[in-house]
Chain A
Amino acid sequence: MASDRIFGLVVLMTALAYIASATQIQTSFLADPVGPKAFPILVGAVAALSSLVLIFRPDDEPEWPAIRTFGSLLVAIIVLVGYAYALRPFGFIVPTAIAAAILSYQISPRALPAALTGVGLSVGLFLLFKYALGLGLVPFPKEFFG
Chain B
Amino acid sequence: MKFNCMKGLAAGALMTVAFATTATAAECIAPANPGGGWDFTCRQIGKIMFDIGAVDKPIQVTNMAGAGGGLAFNHVVTERNDDADLIVAASSATSTRLAQNAYAGMTAGQVRFVGAIGADPGVIVVAANSPFKSLNDLVDAIKADPGSVAFAGGSAVGGFDHLKPLMVLQRAGFTDITKVKYIGVDGGADAITQTVGGFTQAMTGDMSEIVGFLKSGDVRALAVLTEERVPGFDDIPTAKEQGLDVVAVNWRGLYVPRGVSDDTFNSWADKLQKVADSAEWKEAMAANGLAPFTKVGADFQSYVDSLVVEVNQLSKDIGVIQ
Contact = CB atoms under 8 A, between A and B. Distances in A.
Direct contact of A and B (CB under 8 A): yes
Interface of A: 28-30, 131-132, 134, 136
A28 B320 CA distance: 8
A28 B12 contact: no
Given A136-B60, A136-B62, A30 B178 contact: yes
A59 B157 CA distance: 45
Interface of B: 12, 15-16, 19-20, 22, 27, 60, 62, 157-158, 177-178, 319-320
Contact of A134 (B19, B27, B320): B19
Contacts of B158: 28, 30
A134 B19 CA distance: 7
A29 B60 CA distance: 43
A30 B320 contact: yes
Contact of B16 (A28, A30, A132, A136): A132
Given A131-B20, A132-B16, A30 B157 contact: yes
Nearest to B16: A131
22 contacts: A28-B158, A28-B320, A29-B178, A29-B319, A30-B157, A30-B158, A30-B177, A30-B178, A30-B319, A30-B320, A131-B16, A131-B19, A131-B20, A132-B12, A132-B15, A132-B16, A134-B15, A134-B19, A134-B22, A136-B27, A136-B60, A136-B62
A77 to B, nearest CB: 25
A72 to B, nearest CB: 34
Contacts of B60: 136
B233 to A, nearest CB: 31
Contacts, number: 23
Contacts of A131: 16, 19-20
Which among A30, A134, A136 has the greatest number of chain B C-beta atoms within 10 A? A30
A28 B178 CA distance: 10
A146 to B, nearest CB: 14
Contacts of A29: 178, 319
Nearest to B177: A30
A130 to B, nearest CB: 8
A30 B19 CA distance: 49
A145 to B, nearest CB: 11
A135 B42 CA distance: 17
Contacts of B157: 28, 30
Contacts of B177: 30
A50 B13 CA distance: 54
A131 B11 CA distance: 12
Contacts of A28: 157-158, 320
Which among B19, B27, B60 has the greatest number of chain A C-beta atoms within 10 A? B19
A136 to B, nearest CB: 6
A136 B178 CA distance: 46
Contacts of B16: 131-132
Contacts of A136: 27, 60, 62
B46 to A, nearest CB: 14
A131 B60 CA distance: 14
Given A30-B158, A132-B16, A136-B62, 16 more contacts: A28-B157, A28-B158, A28-B320, A29-B319, A30-B157, A30-B178, A30-B319, A30-B320, A131-B16, A131-B19, A131-B20, A132-B12, A132-B15, A134-B15, A134-B19, A136-B60
Contacts of A132: 12, 15-16
A29 B62 CA distance: 37
A93 to B, nearest CB: 15
A132 B17 CA distance: 9
Contacts of B20: 131
B310 to A, nearest CB: 20
Contacts of B12: 132
B43 to A, nearest CB: 14
Nearest to B162: A30
